[in-house]
A = this chain, B = another copy of it.
Amino acid sequence: MNIQFADRMNNLQASEIRELLKLAERPEIISFAGGLPAPELFPVEAMKVVGVKVLEEQGMQALQYSATEGYGPLREKIAARMAAIGVNATADNVLITSGSQQGLDFAGKVFLNEGDIVITERPSYLGAIMAFKAYSPEFVDIAMDDDGMDMAELERVLTTRDRVKMIYVIPDFQNPTGKTWSVERRKQLVELANRFDLPIVEDNPYGELRFEGQRPPAVKSFDTQGRVLFLGTFSKTFCPGMRLGWTLGEGELLNKFVLVKQGADLQTSSLGQRELNQFMEDYDLDEHIATIREVYRSRRDVMLTAMETYFPKVEGLTFTYPNGGLFTWVELPAHMNARELFKRALEKEVAFVPGGSFYPNGGYENTLRLNYSNMPEEKIKEGIKRLGEAIQEMM
- The list of the 9 closest CB pairs from A to B, nearest first, reads A241-B270, A44-B59, A63-B239, A39-B60, A51-B51, A98-B265, A42-B63, A131-B263, A63-B241
A134 with B105: in contact, given A98-B98, A198-B3, A242-B269 (CB under 8 Å)?
no
- B-facing residues in A1-43 (Cβ within 8 Å): 1-9, 12-14, 34, 36-37, 39-40, 42
Which residues from chain B contact A269 at a C-beta distance below 8 Å? 98, 241-243, 269, 272
Closest Cβ–Cβ distance, residue A114 to chain B (whole Å): 8
Closest residue of chain B to A56 (Cβ to Cβ) is B48
Inter-subunit contact A4/B130 (CB<8 Å)? no
Stretch at the interface among A72-80, A251-259, A325-333, A349-357: A251-259
Q: How far is the CB of A220 from chain B (nearest CB, A)?
A: 15
Interface residues of A (CB under 8 A from B): 1-9, 12-14, 34, 36-37, 39-40, 42, 44, 47-48, 51-52, 55-56, 59-66, 97-99, 101-102, 104-105, 109-113, 116, 127, 130-131, 133-135, 165, 197-199, 225-227, 235, 239-243, 253, 255-256, 259-260, 262-272
A59, closest chain B residue (CB): B44
Known: A65-B34, A263-B131, A264-B105. A3 touches B197 (CB 8 A): yes
Given contacts A3-B198, A59-B47, A110-B6, contact A102 B265 (CB under 8 A): yes
Rounded to whole angstroms, the CA-CA distance of A36 and B226 in the bound complex is 35
A12/B259 in contact, CB under 8 A? yes
**One of B3, B242, B243, B268 near A227 (C-beta < 8 A):** B3
- What's the minimum C-beta distance from A77 to chain B, rounded to whole angstroms? 19
Inter-chain contact A37/B12, CB cutoff 8 Å:
no
The chain B residue sitting closest to A116, CB to CB, is B6
Q: A3-B198, A65-B240 are in contact. List 5 more A-B contacts (CB 8 A).
A: A34-B65, A39-B64, A52-B52, A101-B265, A242-B270
Query: Distance in Å from the Cβ of A211 to the closest Cβ of chain B?
Result: 22
B residues in contact with A101, CB < 8 Å: 263-266
Can you pick out 28 interface pairs between chain A and chain B where the beta carbons lie within 8 Å of each other? A3-B199, A6-B109, A6-B135, A8-B113, A9-B110, A12-B256, A12-B259, A12-B260, A36-B65, A40-B60, A42-B63, A44-B55, A47-B59, A48-B55, A52-B52, A63-B239, A63-B241, A65-B240, A65-B241, A98-B98, A99-B266, A102-B265, A127-B262, A242-B270, A243-B268, A265-B265, A269-B272, A272-B272
Is A5 within 8 A of B264, CB to CB? no
Residues of B with C-beta under 8 A to A63:
39, 42, 44, 47, 239-242
